[in-house]
Amino acid sequence: MERARRRFEERVCLVTGGTSGIGKATATLFGLEGARVSVVGHDEEDGRHALDDLRSQGIEAIYANADVADEHEAQAAIVRTLDEWGRIDVLVNNAAMMTFAPVVDLPTADWDRVLAVNLRGAFLFSKFAVPRMSPGSSIVNVSSVHAHETTVGVAPYAASKAGLEALTRALSRELVDHGIRVNSIAPGSVDTPMLWENPNVKSGKEKVEGAIGKPEDIAAAILFLASDEARFINGTTLVADGGRLDIL
């Protein structure tokens, strides 16, 4: 019997922050849909584990070590991917970090670092990948519901995600003539270490009960946004939060 054609066969997908959580689930799903996957992370050991896991599922994958906020390391990760696979069809800007302090107590260096990882990182990977992306390619930026509604102590995170959604809109306009779509996804609470290590969640200041998604739920939405089925969706943000923002 002929095997059904997988949706991302012959394509190359680069996922930043791809060694854990939503990024790893995304790399896995693209891989299972036939893509060759480039996983970018900033911890070599995590990278080795992620590669073992992906390859054990028959997925063709490489790991590129980079601090996404570093211009040279970001560029090197793109070059490594192109050297290996010759193309990039899907870029998922997923790497991110949080800090937990009110603005008045927040060291300025922490503000700069969160903005650099969460927003500058997406700018850098887009800047270096886009010139090598063909019409039909797509970028998906992983934002957060914190871009829309937020809580105390996470101002740089909320600001970085709101900025990421603005970058999404702006870049989508620039790339219309290139045939490259750019969208964001704004997850609600997702069962990853980032959620459970959040002191606001631990203390109950940020309520998450009732709507906790799995990394695979977000991966499925990212895959949809990057797929040809989403060809008429551009410059927008898909909220994937199990309806959390609708709760009064």
Ligand X SMILES: NC(=O)c1ccc[n+]([C@@H]2O[C@H](COP(=O)([O-])OP(=O)(O)OC[C@H]3O[C@@H](n4cnc5c(N)ncnc54)[C@H](O)[C@@H]3O)[C@@H](O)[C@H]2O)c1
Q: Which of 94, 126, 138, 237 binds ligand X (CB under 6 A)?
A: 94
Give the separation between CA 136 and CA 229, rounded to whole angstroms.
Answer: 11
Q: How far is the CB of 221 from ligand X (least distance, A)?
A: 12
The answer to whether 14 and 40 are in contact (CB under 8 A) is yes
**H helix or E strand, kind and range, residue 79:** helix 71-85
CA dihedral over 23, 27, 28, 33, signed as positive or negative: positive
> Which residue among 19, 157, 184, 218 is the active-site one?
157
Q: Is 22 in the site for ligand X (CB under 6 A)?
A: yes
Q: Is 120 in the site for ligand X (CB under 6 A)?
A: no
Q: Is 156 in the site for ligand X (CB under 6 A)?
A: no
Beta pairing, strands 237-240 & 181-187: parallel
Q: Which of 59, 159, 180, 190 binds ligand X (CB under 6 A)?
A: 190
Q: Is 154 in the site for ligand X (CB under 6 A)?
A: no
Q: How far is the CB of 225 from ligand X (least distance, A)?
A: 14
Q: Is 240 in the site for ligand X (CB under 6 A)?
A: no
Give the separation between CA 42 and CA 71, rounded to whole angstroms.
Answer: 14
Q: Is 13 in the site for ligand X (CB under 6 A)?
A: no
Residues 6+ apart with CB under 8 A from 83: none
The answer to whether 89 and 47 are in contact (CB under 8 A) is no
Q: How far is the CB of 87 from ligand X (least distance, A)?
A: 22
- Catalytic status, residue 63: no
Q: Is 194 in the site for ligand X (CB under 6 A)?
A: yes
Q: Which of 42, 120, 181, 244 binds ligand X (CB under 6 A)?
A: 42
Q: Is 187 in the site for ligand X (CB under 6 A)?
A: yes
Q: Is 234 in the site for ligand X (CB under 6 A)?
A: no
Instruction: Give the total of residues touching ligand X (CB under 6 A).
Output: 26
Give the separation between CA 179 and CA 161, rounded to whole angstroms.
Answer: 25
Q: Which two tokens stand for residue 155?
A: 């101002």
Cα dihedral: 111, 141, 161, 171 (round 10)? 90
| Residues at the contact surface with ligand X, assessed by CB under 6 A | 16-17, 19-23, 41-42, 67-69, 94-97, 117, 142, 144, 187, 189-190, 192-195
Which residues are identified as catalytic? 157
